Every structure is written in C-alpha cells, then in structure tokens.
Amino acid sequence: MRIRKRSDVWTILLLCSILPISFVLVVSPMPIRAQEDKFPSRPIEILVPFVPGGFIDVGCRILSDPLSKELKVPIVIKNQPGAGGLMGCSAFLKTKPNGYTMLASTGSGVISTVRLSKTPAFDPRKDLLPVAYVADAPVAMSIPKTSPCKSFDNFVQLARNNPGKLKGGFSVVGGESHIMFLSIVRDAKIDTKIVPYVGTGQLHTAVLGGHLDWATASLPSVMPYARSEDMRILLLTRRSPDLPGVPSGLDVGFPNVSFNMWMGFFLLPQTPKPIYDRLVSAVSAVAKDQDVAKKLTNAGFSIAYKNPQEFSSLINEQWDIFARVIKETDLKVD
C-alpha cells in the first residue's frame, strides 16, 4: 500500500510505539497472578528470631510437619537470634512479601524489645501483618533438683537469709522471662546475683550444672526437665493443669508475675491477598487440629487460637500493657 501523506507516516510510527507498551500493560499482570494462583510452589521458611530449643522454636517444630502437609510443601525453620528478637524481626522486614517467609514470634520479640529500644527499628502495629495467634504458655521459675527448697516460700526465705549469694538467670533480655525475674526480685524483696543468657539452652544447662540457683523461662522449655525431675518448678505466671501444686504469681500476691508468652505468626503488609488468605487458612486449620493441640498441650502450651482481627487487637492492647509493666518493673536494657 502506498502512503501518500506525511501525516500517515507519523500515524503509523505512533501506533508502532504505543502497541508494545499496551501489550506489556495487558500481559504483565498475568505472571504475578499465576504465581499467586499456584502458591505455594516451593518450601516456605518460618523465621524464628530466637535460639533453638526456646518457646517459639519448640512450638514451630510441633507445627511444621502438619503445616507442611496442609500446604503440600516443605516447611523450613530458620533461627536468627539476637538482641531479644530484634535482629530476626529486622531481617524478616527485609524479605520479599511473597508469602515464602513467615515470622514466628512472641510478644517480647515484636513488642517489649521494640519499646525498650531508644531507636525502634519498626512498629508491629504497622509493619507486621498478623496471621494467627496460635497458642500461649506461662513462664516458669525453676530450681535445680539439688536445691533444698521445696516451695516458693522456702526459696524466698532462703534468698532473704543469704542476701547477694544466690545466682539467678533468665533468657532473652527484655522478654517475658526477664519481666518475671525482675518482678520476683522486686515483689519478694530479695537480693540475688543476676546472670542473663542469650537462650534457654545455655540457661537450662547452667541450672542443671548447679551454676544457677534459680531461673525463669517458658514452661514448654522447662517441662522436659521437670518431668525428668532434674528441675523443680516453684512458680508460674499462670496456673497449669499439668502442675496443679505450683502457684501462680497472683496466688502469691505478685500481680506483675502474671505475664504469659504467646506464639503468633506474621507476614509483611504488602503480601498479596490470595497468598495471605491461603496462609491464614492453613495455619488456622493446623492450629485447630486435635492431634496438634494434644502435642502442644503435652509440651506445656495452652491452645488459644485468635484470628487475624483478634490478634491485631491484642497487639494494640499489649503495646500499652508492655509499656506499663516495663515501667513498673523498672526494666532496662544496657
């Protein structure tokens, strides 16, 4: 065909430049949608911002196999401890919002250590997308089996009779076990040497070896030693049906010794909704499974599932509660 006018030439050139752009605009969303539709197609990583063997790690390892079966892909647990959970949480915030990395944490990792920071790295109310609150557990005060104490009252009396001589420890500076430790020291009016540990593994080794006279840690991490009678649990932040003879903080008149630990899962706010909904559904199904619930209960957890909306409300509430408890216990991080 013969082009007779210069305007016709410019029209053809213009169309040639516009059509490829239009094609890209129409076609480009398709791969993204395809990825969402077939999610998940590869292993999913659960980032745990604490050392192996701790509260969150124990819970995630119980959940990983049934969650893998529910999603039909492997579940990989990655421990990235440091700074009371802040290092792992900060690393999570740098991951891609594609659903292939979930954060599993407790309140200490995403609330208390953040509130204690002079320059907070993030705000959990804005920078984290709640998936589910799966379970919770009390914090336990334990002593080695060689201790002469048979009750919490015995311990308090021993500590008062030996000011500055007993050694006590906890794991995760700024965490729930730290809060319980300081609350006992303040409310019981005892003078004890304080030894912080980076994880429950080292903490329990110190108790078993007689290097510590007492310690505070999550009940699930202490329960195996209590069952083997290598440790004795004298106090809990909340009563446990598995330990009916052990009092709670409220039972002994210590209101600040009532802070429990919870296990929750998070994604990034930019996660596509179909992927988010798939993971919410999967975690919900696993958390409500009777076999999973039995395993968690046997490990010292209490089943207390909360959906994303309920979990989000809890985060907002505990943001203020942690601030009050931190102030009342005079909690500081050097």
Q: How many domains does the chain have?
A: 2
Same domain? For 211 and 300 the reply is: no
- Which CATH number is 100's domain given? 3.40.190.150
Sheet hosting strand 139-144, strand order edge to edge: 193-197, 167-171, 214-218, 139-144, 231-236
Query: Which H/E stretch holds residue 28?
Result: none
Q: For position 239, what pLDDT does the model report?
A: 93
Same domain? For 123 and 155 the reply is: no
Residues found in the chain: 334
The answer for 189, left when phi > 0, alpha when psi is -120 to 50, beta otherwise, is: left
d(CA 23, CA 99): 28
pTM of structure:
0.81
Neighbour tally for 242: CB within 10 Å: 14
Q: For position 329, what pLDDT does the model report?
A: 75
Instruction: Residue 244: name the closest of 260, 233, 253 by CA.
Output: 233
d(CA 71, CA 42): 10
Which residues form the domain of 183? 139-236
- Report whether 58 contacts 221 (CB < 8 A): yes
Task: Name the E strands within the chain.
Answer: 44-48, 75-79, 101-105, 129-137, 139-144, 167-171, 193-197, 214-218, 231-236, 261-267, 302-306
Q: For position 98, what pLDDT does the model report?
A: 97
In angstroms, how far is the first alpha carbon of the chain from the final one? 82
Same domain? For 130 and 269 the reply is: yes
Any domain includes 85: yes
Q: What residues contact 265, with CB distance under 8 A and at least 6 apart?
A: 46, 102, 103, 104, 130, 131, 132, 134, 279, 283
**Angle at which helices 290-298 and 55-71 pack, to 10 degrees?**
160
d(CA 267, CA 222): 29
Any domain includes 86: yes
Residue with tokens 């990395």: 101
Q: Is residue 217 packed enough to be buried (19+ CB in 10 Å), middle (13-18) or exposed (0-12)?
A: buried
Same domain? For 168 and 317 the reply is: no
Same domain? For 115 and 150 the reply is: no
d(CA 63, CA 49): 17
- Which CATH number is 179's domain given? 3.40.190.10
Same domain? For 269 and 314 the reply is: yes
Walk along the chain (334 residues) and give the pLDDT tens digit of each residue.
444 444 454 444 444 444 444 444 444 454 555 555 689 999 999 999 998 988 999 999 999 999 999 999 999 999 999 888 889 999 999 999 999 999 999 998 899 888 888 788 899 999 999 999 999 999 999 999 999 999 999 999 999 999 999 999 998 788 889 989 999 999 999 999 999 888 888 999 999 999 999 999 999 999 999 999 999 999 999 999 989 999 999 999 998 788 789 999 999 999 999 999 999 999 999 999 999 999 999 999 998 999 999 999 999 998 888 888 778 777 766 5
